[in-house]
Amino acid sequence: MNLSTDHAAWLKGGTAECHKLDVYPERAYRMILLGAPGTGKGTQAQLLCERFGCCHLSTGDVFRAAKCVDPQNVSPVMQRALGYMQRGELVPDEIVIDLVGERLTCLKCDYGFLFDGFPRTVAQAECLDQMFAKVGIVLDAVVSYELPTQEVIDRLSGRRTCRGCGATYHVKNKPSLREGACDACGGELYQRVDDKAETIRVRLQEYEKTAGPLRDHYRCKNLLVCVSAADAPPRVFEQTLEALQPLLT
């Protein structure tokens, strides 16, 4: 099932409306993915969205989309946020919470959602709980992907992203057929600013500070499942489905 919308409401916010298909999933699945950068969360998010028909909502994608806009049309708050992102630091809670709060229609959407990269702190998780209560929806599950730190560093520093279509490659594990060019669209492959070695270290430190308490927050609500991200993506996906089964029935 691939019912994904064009994500306009999420990426642009404000009054932007998604182009939706006439087909809806049998029910709205609502989930959150946790995991350090480089654990393959984005790939799993895509597979899960295809399976459950929900929208992939990544706060990182909102910031990256804003980075491509003419700076004159970017709000001062968003410009501040982009500064944090470029240094590999977390954007302050109040900015991210406002950004999600402006997109409540995405939480209520009949397609359901899969949050990727949000919440990242307990403060964000608590505000998200309040937003769910406000719009009257219930979260189904939270998946946490686990991987040793050195493996994360190896994966991220070799990652290359297509400027054209966003496809990702790895210099060793998944090289493109022609060096520097995307197999799918021929676009230029580049290394994301936040995938450079120094920035990765900062991002991992930031992640470790908040990951434990965040997992505890959802464990207490009986919503958390932990899945090893060590295997190839199809196997990790199978393990994810197995782990989710008791929570989605």
Annotated active-site positions, please? 41, 120, 159, 192, 203
* HEC letters along 189-225: EECCHHHCHHHHHHHHHHHHHHHHHHHHHHHHCCCEE
Closer by beta carbon to ligand AMP, 3 or else 34: 34
Tell the burial category of 215 from Cβ atoms under 10 Å away from its Cβ (0-12, 13-18, 19+): middle
What minimum distance in Å lies between the beta carbon of 115 and ligand AMP? 9
| Residues in binding contact with ligand AMP, number by CB under 6 A | 19
**Is residue 191 at the binding interface for ligand AMP, with CB under 6 A as the rule?**
no
User: Of the candidates 208, 242, 217, 218, which has an alpha carbon nearest to the alpha carbon of residue 228?
Assistant: 242
DSSP state of 68: T
Nearest distance from C-beta of residue 217 to ligand AMP, angstroms? 14
Q: Which two tokens stand for residue 236?
A: 């990790």
Q: Which residues contact 40 (CB under 8 A, 6 or more apart)?
A: 145, 155, 229, 233, 236
Phi, psi dihedrals of residue 239, rounded to the nearest 5°: -65, -35
- Minimum CB separation of residue 23 from ligand AMP in Å reads 29
Instruction: Select the residue interacting with ligand AMP from 18, 96, 139, 182 (CB under 6 A).
Output: 96
Please say whether the beta carbons of 36 and 204 come within 8 A.
Answer: yes
Q: Report if residue 203 touches ligand AMP, rule: CB under 6 A.
A: yes
Regarding 152 and contact with ligand AMP (CB under 6 A), the answer is: no
Q: Of 95 and 230, which has the nearer Cβ to ligand AMP?
A: 95
Which residue, 124 or 240, is less far from ligand AMP as judged by CB?
124
Enumerate residues 13-52 that contact ligand AMP by CB under 6 A: 37
By residue count, the chain amounts to: 249
Pick one of 84, 146, 151, 223: the residue that binds ligand AMP (CB under 6 A): 84
Which residues contact ligand AMP (rule: CB under 6 A)?
37, 58-60, 63, 84-85, 88-91, 96, 117-120, 124, 194, 203
